[in-house]
Amino acid sequence: MNTAGDFSEAEIEAGRRLFAGDWRFLAAAGSFDSLPPAGALEIAFAGRSNVGKSSLINALTGRRALARTSAAPGRTRELIFFAGATRLVLVDLPGYGYAKATKSQVAAWTGLVQDYLRGRAALGRVYLLIDARHGLKPADAVIFETLGQAAVSYQIVLTKCDQVKDAELAERMQSVKASIRRQPAAFPQMLATSAHSGAGIPLLRASIARLLRERQG
C-alpha cells in the first residue's frame, strides 16, 4: 500500500504545485517524424486499453476533460502530448491489447511506441498502469520486454484501487512486485491510485516532482 512516509511533506507540496497550473493539449503524433520538438522533460503513461490512462491524467492535472476518456476514433492510435506551465510534458501512449484492431493497426501503433521509447531523449520515465482488479496480463509481459530493450526506466502504478478490497489490493501489489523483481528497468517502488476517489494521486504527483527535481539537478 502507498504511504505518505515515502515522500516528505515538502515533496507532497511540490507535487501539488507542479500540477496546480494550467494544462493544455500540446500535440498529437501518429508517426515518429511528427513528434513535437523535444525540450521539456517528458513523462509517459502506458497500459492496456481501458486501464484508465486518460482518467489518471485528468486526476493528476485536476482537469476533467484534458484527456479524452472515451475511445474517440483517431486518438488511441496516436501519442497525445499535454503541456503545463512548468517544464514538464505528459504523454498518453496508445493502449495495448487492442481487441478490435487489425494486425496492421497493432503493428503500426506498436512500432510508433517502440520508436518513441528508443529515440526520445527527453523521456524521463514511463508510468506503466496496471488495473488493480485484474493484475498482470500476458500483454503486460510484452511491454516489460519492450521497455527493457529500450533501457527506459518505468514505474508500476495500479489504477482503480477503489474497486478492490484492501486485502486483495495488498495481495495484488505483492504479486506484481514479484513479477517485476527480475526486470532491471523497473523502478522498485509501486503506487496504488484511484482517479475516482483521488487515492494515491498526491503521491504520484510527488513522485513526478521528485524526478523532475533530480533531472534538473
Provide the pairing of β-strand 123-131 with 191-192. unpaired
Q: What is the pTM of this model?
A: 0.92
Tell me the helix, strand and coil percentages in the chain, rounded to 5.
40, 20, 40
Cβ of 133: how many Cβ atoms within 10 Å? Answer: 14
Q: 95-116, pLDDT tens digit by residue? A: 887 656 677 777 777 888 899 9
Q: Tell me which H or E stretch contains 160.
A: none
Architecture of domain 4-216: 3-Layer(aba) Sandwich (3.40)
Binned at pLDDT 50, 70 and 90, residue 47 comes out as very high
In the chain, domain spans:
4-216
Q: 48-101, pLDDT tens digit by residue? A: 888 999 999 999 999 988 987 654 443 467 899 999 988 899 999 988 876 566
DSSP-derived 3-state class of residue 55: helix
CA distance 86 to 70: 27
DSSP-derived 3-state class of residue 197: coil
Strand partners, 127: 45, 155
Grid cell at residue 66: 484534458
Binned at pLDDT 50, 70 and 90, residue 37 comes out as very high
